[in-house]
Structure 1
Amino acid sequence: MVLVGAIRDYVAKMLSELTGMKVLIVDKETLGFISVVFSQSDILHKDVYLVEPVDAPPTEESLGHLKAVCFLRPTGENITQLKRHLKNPRYGEYHLFFSNILKSTYIQILADADEHEVVRGVQEYFGDYFAIDPYHFTLNLPSNHLCMVPSVMDPHASQRAGDRIVEGLASVFLSLKKRPVIRYQRSSEIARRIASDVGKLMYEQESGLFDFRRGDNTPLLLVLDRRDDPVTPLLNQWTYQAMVHELIGLEDNRVDLGPPTGAKAKTEAQQLVLSQEQDAFFKANMYENFGDLGANIKKMVDEFQAQSRSNQNLQTLQDMARFVENYPEFRKKSGNVSKHVSLMSELSRIVDERILMSVSQIEQDLACTASQATAFEEVSTQLDNEKVGDVDRLRLVLLYALRYEKENPRQLEQLMTKLSSRPSKYKPALVYTLLRHAGVEKRTGDLYMNRDFINRARNIARGLKGVENVYTQHQPLLTQTMENIAKGRLKDVDYPFVGSHYAPAGRPQDVVVFIVGGSTYEESRAVALQNNTASGVKFVLGGTVVHNSASFLSDLEEVYRLERTSDLV
């Protein structure tokens, strides 16, 4: 179940089967689907002359010698844009590919619009998701905060968001050519609704599409709610991929470092691609902790410097010929070294500026240990520290409140008073908003491994064993969930099946875990580590977005605003 390969195969087939120079027409989302798995040079090698947005303004210039390959989401807006193209075709041929199930009404609309008979084919290629890593995908849902609030606040927007999730999950399984059994988190109404709607689509409405040959083992789709683990997206991260996303931002495998000092506009050099499909160093180090990463980057720099000195010592024609032959690879390596050194420098600057070493150690204590008195003193001290920024102060109180919401309300009030003592763009009331939506009463999983003696024993054993790095000792709740699935221990009462007739016999070998409300790169790392074990179960992780703490807090602010507007609190 490697998602990157599925999308690459679809795009390669679209572009390779059509010979000659062509234009690729895309919408904003399908451009993203392609860009996370193909580089610009990969597209050029497919004889693509131009990449054009489907909603680009019309032009009188005719390019009848070119063929148009359209890869679009099957939405009403895109159908309207295609009608415009077909009414006054700019290109000689149009080959239409849709990333998901195409309604029969849309097919009729396109047929009626094709008065010039330029459409040569209409096909469904199920790649309706961002395959950012082989075992991690996202839908980049724009209104992700709707996954945290009751649909009564904005039922139409909530329904659209739910429909997009169902479409994305359908596309994932159609691209994998599998029909799963479906389970969901019992305590989450939105997880139940999504799971139910996916089940209806796969087993009733479009059962023919999903009628794949059954193997010995049926895959599993498990739908979870982000609110069951609000801790993971609030923590600072200390492994390469997750750290870049947390401190700088990583969107569709691209990093924006911003303009150089003194520059007024962004430059191409500051837009960096960070993809394991295109960068061997990143693939080897994406899960390394900050300290080991620094040592590995230094080693890479030393090796490059040695190669540079060798290239400067060109004494014979053979030396020169060899250098010219290897120059493209040398230039690529030079750019790669520069990229990772720039990223490491920026990460180090932010860590020092925000004194994250001390802040993060307390975050990890809040997430992984149970000494309430010590936690209160540590958080109080940081709230008094003028060097600690607004966002880090808020996150510390949020993490404290989640852990100790039932233990000492008066001490939480004291922390809230300290949090409010300094002007900030963040509202202290967000603490209570999070507790309403993701407090202990709302959660299913054993987030802190302290509900029963088995999990308490595991927690103690982990503490006695120790961890290699205090900053990476936290394990997301998903780790525990995956272990339970691999051992056949996932409780039916907490994670029921959608329909009794869907229940399989035996343990699944392939599992897609989808988190409504967003996944994280820490969880993606947990999936990669789990897949490297000998459990016999392979996992794929998906979510409505990929969170860092900034995006999670942004969603929380939107929930707060909606509640205030709706007067529901």
Structure 2
Amino acid sequence: SQADDAFFADNMYSNWGEICANIKSHVEQYKKAMNIDRASATIEDLKALMQNLPAAKQMSSSVTKHTTVVSHLSKAIKDRRLLDISLLEQNMASENSANEHWQRIVDFNEDRSVNRADIARLALIYNLKYEKAAKGSKAEQLLLGTPYATHVANLRAYFGNRNTNATFNSGVMKSVVSYIKGFKDEQNIYTQHEPLLRRTLVALAQGKLDAEQFPYLAPPTNPNFRPKEVIVCMLGGTTYEEAAMVWKLNADPAAANGMKVLLSAPAVHNTRTFLRALNPEME
């Protein structure tokens, strides 16, 4: 846990690129700490080594543990082509190129090393981004004959019809616009997306949250009221991305005017748990 593992505490919410860079630095620090030329070592050098031996042993254990974990993660990422898949996910969310994105999904589907749950996730994202319920769904056709054959229809039932639906009111449209704006123009193409929750919390901290979308149970008497502590309850579950975002928001007082956020949810979802929620009959 972060209470007894400094490296884990420092990297608990880091992305993959940051973890790789930090584990390299961690190894270099250990090598530097243990670098002693026994042939030319003085008594003072040996005394200093002995004094630092407990810390060196602890660092050795930490280096071994975390390099082993990162090695296993690296192999899984390579075997499952997760960097390529992540890039396509980010591209689909932040760009409009239906034909290109579909062809890349087809290419992934033809690669038997790619996990079928990852294919299902890509197909569902494509359906949300590009397909209308009234038209034939390529995503649905792609998943026929797989355990995820009903997931596109279930996803539509979960979210309802989009754009063409007369009940798709302005409040929902504002949420979608905010969602689309939640993509950062930055060099790290694997972390372009920011959760809608972040924009919601920042707007709340700045006193700009839309009261129609987020009505007060009891409106504040002071029109300039700015909350200092907020509890967010994510019904149905939250994600690790949202948890990391809340942690970073709390760690940076300037990001939300010093407002502190407590994130509460009955579960933390990943792809498999969300796919299972769309079809509870799946094992």
State the TM bucket, normalised to the shorter chain.
0.7 to 0.9
Greater gyration radius: 1
Q: Tell me how many residue pairs correspond in the alignment.
A: 271
Correspondence 1:438 to 2:152: no
After superposition, what is the alpha-carbon deviation per residue over 1:306-349, rounded to whole angstroms, capped at 9, x for unaligned? 22233967966665554444332222111111122112111110
Q: What residue in structure 2 maps to residue 297 of structure 1? A: 23
Aligned to 1:468: 187
Q: Structure 2, unaligned stretches of length 5 or more? A: none
Choose which of 523, 545, 551 in structure 1 pairs with 2:267.
545
Instruction: Say if 1:311 and 1:323, in contact at 8 Å, map to a contact too.
Output: no
Q: Work out whether residues 105 and 122 of structure 2, in 8 Å CA contact, stay in contact via their aligned partners in 1.
A: yes
For residues 534-555 of structure 1, what are the alpha-carbon distances to aligned partners after superposition, in whole Å with 9 as ceiling and x for unaligned?
Answer: 1232222221122222222233
CA distance 1:321–1:376, change in 2 (3 Å): same
Equivalent AA in structure 1 for residue 238 of structure 2: S
Inter-partner Cα distance in structure 1 for 2:70 and 2:91: 26
Residue aligning to 1:417: 141
Query: What is the CA-CA distance between 1:522 and the residue it aligns to?
Result: 1.0
1:343-385 Cα distance to aligned partner (Å, 9 max, x none): 2111110111011122111111222223334333332332233
User: Is 1:404 matched up with 2:126?
Assistant: no
Deviations 1:93-140 (A, max 9, x none): xxxxxxxxxxxxxxxxxxxxxxxxxxxxxxxxxxxxxxxxxxxxxxxx
Partner of 2:276: 554
For the pair 1:353 / 2:75, whether they are aligned, the reply is no
What does residue 337 of structure 1 align with? 63
Return the structure number with greater relative CO, CA threshold 8 A, min gap 6: 1
> Can you list the C-alpha shifts for 1:176-234, whole angstroms capped at 9, x where unaligned?
xxxxxxxxxxxxxxxxxxxxxxxxxxxxxxxxxxxxxxxxxxxxxxxxxxxxxxxxxxx
Query: Is the 8 Å Cα contact of residues 297 and 341 (structure 1) preserved in structure 2?
Result: yes
What secondary structure does 2:210 align onto? coil
| Equivalent residues in 2 for 1:175-186, closer than 5 Å | none
TM-superposed deviation, 1:390: 0.7
Query: How far apart in 1 are the matches of 2:152 and 2:234?
Result: 22
Structure having the larger proportion of residues in strand = 1
Classify the secondary structure of the residue corresponding to 2:234. Answer: strand
Q: Please give the root-mean-square deviation of Cα atoms over the aligned residues, in Å.
A: 3.1
Per-residue CA shift, 1:484-539, capped at 9, x if unaligned? 111212222222233x3x74631211111121122222112212332314123222
Structure 1 residue 450 corresponds to structure 2 residue 177: yes
Give the match for residue 211 of structure 2.
492
User: Which residue in the other structure is 1:507 paired with?
Assistant: 226
Contact 1:367 1:448 in 2 (8 A): no
Q: Is the 8 A contact 1:513 1:540 kept in 2?
A: yes
Give the counterpart letter for 1:297 in structure 2.
I
SS at match of 1:331: helix
Q: Please, which of 113, 133, 149 is the counterpart of residue 428 of structure 1? A: 149
2:231 alignment partner, SS class: strand
Q: Which amino acid aligns with 2:56?
A: F
Q: How big is the shift at 1:302?
A: 1.8
1:364 equivalent in alignment to 2:90: yes
The 2-side partners of 1:357 and 1:383 are apart by 16
Share of identical aligned residues, percent?
31
How high is the TM-score relative to the length of structure 2? 0.81
The answer as to whether partners of 2:126 and 2:139 remain within 8 angstroms in 1 is no
TM-score normalised by length of structure 1: 0.43
1:288 paired residue among 10, 14, 25: 14
Distance in 2 (CA, whole Å) between partners of 1:429 and 1:282 is 39
Q: Is the 1:467–1:473 Cα contact (8 Å) retained in structure 2?
A: yes
Aligned-partner Cα distance in 2 for 1:495–1:288: 31
2:215 is paired with a residue whose SS is coil
Instruction: Please tell me whether the aligned partners of residues 419 and 428 of structure 1 are also in contact (alpha carbons under 8 angstroms).
Output: yes
